[in-house]
Amino acid sequence: MNKETIIKISDLAKIDIKDDQIDDILTSLEKILNLVDEMNSVDTDSVTPMSHPLNLKQELRKDIVEASNERELFQKNNKHTDNGYYIVPKIID
């Protein structure tokens, strides 16, 4: 990783990086890449993949229909209804 690479990446990503920021960005990216290399060097062949770091079970509710048609309740406070339908302004001629 060098300054030219940082400039090329910023150009491809359409990110405006000022010249005085390049050294800081270069240092940060080198640290990130070193960390990735370190993580890649760990042998994980015998480790079982996990879907979540905490082995929790999500309790789901029973799928039971409980709601009834409450259209009249919802429409009783709206004067713009007709025969169970909402009346809206015409938008298409």
- Confidence at residue 49, expressed as pLDDT on a 0 to 100 scale: 85
Structure tokens, 79: 């004067």
Q: How far is CA 41 from CA 14, 38, 49, 55, 89, in A?
A: 33, 5, 17, 26, 65
The contacts of residue 24 (CB under 8 Å, 6+ apart) are none
Rg (CA), the chain: 30
- Confidence at residue 88, expressed as pLDDT on a 0 to 100 scale: 93
**pTM of the predicted model as reported, rounded to 2 decimal places:** 0.49
Q: Which helix (H) or strand (E) holds 85?
A: strand 85-86
- The pLDDT tens digits for 31-79 are 999 999 999 999 999 988 887 788 778 888 888 888 788 888 999 989 8
- The pLDDT tens digits for 6-39 are 999 999 999 999 999 999 999 999 999 999 999 9
Distance CA(83)–CA(25), nearest Å, equals 65
